[in-house]
Amino acid sequence: MTIDYTDPRSPSQQIADDLREQINAGRFAAGDPLPSERTLVDRYGTAPQTTRQAIAVLKSEGLVVGRPGRGIFVRERLPIVRVGSDHRAQWRKRTGQSPMQAEAEANGLSWYQEVLALETVPAPDWVADRFEIEHGKEVFVRRRRTWIEDVPTQLADSYYLLADVEGTRIMSEDTGPGGSYAQLEERGLTLARFREEIGIRMPTPNETRQLRLGPGIPVAEMWRVAFTDERPIEVFRSVLAGNSHVFVYEFDAPM
């Protein structure tokens, strides 16, 4: 490719677009090195600074990563885990696995969950609003981090009313077969429905550190409320690495 100086795109953007197209077409596979800066300068006929700007664009998009002393490499693509409308199907709950674990292991991927904290805290405003309780009232929270193929992929916080979980295994690291929902149902709190809200944003510095995210990788923030027929019994907040999850929903067309 030669730079088209009549193109409204800057030379660096043209180079970035060309390299991106080659990456997406598989000419550079995951883990492959990109050509050296000297090679790119010769290929595109531009100044070194222009090629550096092009590489910076690809880094910001999360497509490539720099390795000191070695060069620029196409970022390894992590295994993709589906999150969707059948994510909490009853048959999966009965296996004693979490939905995320069931999905990962069904695809031959290793999975484990790390418990970060089990604590009683004043309800954040967004938790209180979803539970419809007064702000600051004490609730119980389970904070976890999920690992797939030894890569951290999700931060997950589950909030519960104290009266619903006191004396149950929800307040311990091992919630037992069926997880927290099975424990709630043993208390007569039968799950009836869920509501989910999903937003896409860039991560905070703490999320970047905990999920080991590279430059340019967004996160999906999921808010889920689990209800009985009468009221909410869990408020769940999850931050998922954007490069390792895809959301899939299937539903009937409205009549």
Model pLDDT for residues 234-245, shown as the tens digit of each residue: 999 999 998 788
User: Per-residue DSSP letters for 78-128?
Assistant: PPPEEEETTTT-HHHHHTTS-HHHHHHHHTT--EEEEEEEEEEEEPPHHHH
Give pLDDT, residue 76.
73
User: What residues does CATH 3.40.1410.10 cover in the chain?
Assistant: 81-248
pLDDT at residue 212 tops 80: yes
What CATH number belongs to 11-74? 1.10.10.10
pLDDT at residue 15 tops 70: yes
Phi, psi of 35 (to 5 degrees): -55, 155
Q: Does the structural domain 81-248 have CATH classification 3.40.1410.10?
A: yes
- Predicted confidence band of residue 229 (pLDDT cuts 50, 70, 90): very high
Strand, coil or helix: 171 = helix
User: Which range is least confidently modeled, 84-88, 133-137, 197-201, 214-218?
Assistant: 84-88
pTM: 0.72
User: What residues does CATH 1.10.10.10 cover in the chain?
Assistant: 11-74
Evaluate whether 77 touches 30 at the Cβ level (below 8 Å).
yes
